[in-house]
Amino acid sequence: METTLIILKPDAVQRGLMGRIITRFEDKGLQIVGAKVMQISQDLASKHYEDHKGKPFYEGLVNFMTGSPVLALAIRGCGAIAISRNMMGATFGSKADPGTIRGDFGVSNSFNLIHGSDSPEAATRELGLFFGAGEILDWDRSIEGWVYDLSSGTAE
C-alpha cells in the first residue's frame, strides 16, 4: 500500500469542489487516512515548491498557494500515487482529458485545482511537510476485500 499527498488547491476550495473531488478518490476505492483544511504559509509553500525556485512561475505559484485555504489529504491504496495522478489529468485544465479532475473542472493553465505527489520519495517528503506525527491514521476498512482481490493474501 502507498500513501500519497493530495492538495486541493485554493481554486478547488473556493469553487466548492472539495466534496466532489474527495468522492472521486473514495469511489475509486482509495482510503482517506488524513485530512486538514489549512492556510499554507510562505515558508511551507517555499519548502514544498523548492524544486521550482528560480523558474518564472515560482513566485506566482507560491502567492497562489498561500492566498486562500487548501485541503491537504493523505490518501492510501495499492498504487495510490499512479492512480491519483491519472485521476488528476494533465497539468493544464485546457489540455486534460474529460473524465479526469482537471479535465472535468478546469480550463485554466494557471489554476489547476489539485496537486499529487509524483513518486514514493516525493510522497514521503511532502506528507512530512503537511502532516505531523499522529495525523495520518492506520485504520481497517471493512470494504477492503471488496476493493482489492485479497485471495492471494496480498492486495491485487
Residues labelled as active-site residues: 115
103, 89 contact by CB (below 8 A): yes
Q: Which residue has the cell 500519497?
A: 4
Burial 6-17 (b: 16+ CB within 10 A, else e): bbbbbbbbeeeb
Q: At what angle do helices 80-88 and 18-28 cross, to 10 degrees?
A: 130
Burial 36-46 (b: 16+ CB within 10 A, else e): eeeebeeebbb
Q: Which residue has the cell 485471495?
A: 151
